[in-house]
Amino acid sequence: MVENRRLGDFFAHLILIAGVAIVAFPVYMAVVASTLDADTIANGQMGLLPGSHGLENYRRLLFEGTSYTTRAPVYGMLVVSLISALGIAIGKIAISLISAYAIVYFRFPLRMIAFWLIFLTLMLPVEVRIYPTYKIVADLHMLDSYAGLTIPLIASATATLLFRQFFMTVPDELAEAAKIDGAGPMQFFRDVLLPLSRTNLAALFVILFIYGWNQYLWPLLITTRDDMQPIVVGIKKIVSTHDALTEWQLAMATAVLAMLPPVLVVVGMQKMFVKGLVETEK
């Protein structure tokens, strides 16, 4: 049996390693490409080892931008992406927390209707309602602004449902004990519910930050100014040049830079993320 299990372990690892290689290799190639000079890539002589132009490529990309297309430095795009991703994640969490709190803990008229209305928006993501949303944002003069980049994406049924499910698992006695202890509704929310939702908050933050960071269609639609473009839109613009050679080393460097923040968020919050998704003890 022991022998068999070793063999099994070996194959399991083999498959996992193959899987990791398949996923990681293109990423590695992007990193390699971002350290080469333009000629090497254009000649098709790209090898497997990093070149020596890395620092120069990244410096130029971050602070000057590409030669032909967007001309905006990627540093600005990173700032735009960061602000809108944070805005979307934090805004979504804040709104869904309080709406879930209202739905679970308060008895008000049309409570179930409110709940189902929120639920219904699950079926209406931005892509579906893109034209009316665009019209509203344009009428409110929010094009090319952070408000326009974030607010339409903030309303979120998913997060509301998640918090609702979580709040419903919190024993009623806890709210009653708080009531007897003299905590008002807001105080109960702040002193008991929020600290208890900490791990859920973290898990949700990771998911929503990545969701916000990866937004492509919406920013593409409502931003026209180069300095209001998130990096995900920027990559596309750097790649598609009409009458000039694509600067692949810079496109790859942009891709690497676009990948980094989500990776950092996931790695940094991994422990809480997992806890938030699996923890059951209340």
At closest approach, how far in Å is the CB of 272 from other proteins? 14
178 or 233, CB closer to other proteins? 178
13 or 198, CB closer to other proteins? 198
Residue 246 burial class via C-beta count within 10 angstroms: exposed 0-12, middle 13-18, buried 19 and up: middle
98 or 194, CB closer to other proteins? 194
At closest approach, how far in Å is the CB of 240 from other proteins? 51
3-state secondary structure of 25: helix
Q: Which residues bind other proteins (CB under 8 A)?
A: 171, 173-174, 176-183, 187, 191-192, 195-196, 198, 281-282
17 or 194, CB closer to other proteins? 194
187 or 214, CB closer to other proteins? 187
Nearest to 119 by CA among 163, 158, 165, 166: 158
Residues 6+ apart with CB under 8 A from 203: 272, 273, 274, 275, 276, 277
Distance, CA of 112 to CA of 163 (rounded, Å): 16
Distance, CA of 36 to CA of 52 (rounded, Å): 6
Distance, CA of 219 to CA of 215 (rounded, Å): 7
At closest approach, how far in Å is the CB of 169 from other proteins? 12
Helices (H) and strands (E) in the chain, counts: 15, 0
CA-CA-CA-CA torsion for 238, 244, 250, 252, nearest 10 degrees? 70
192 or 220, CB closer to other proteins? 192
At closest approach, how far in Å is the CB of 148 from other proteins? 38
At closest approach, how far in Å is the CB of 111 from other proteins? 14
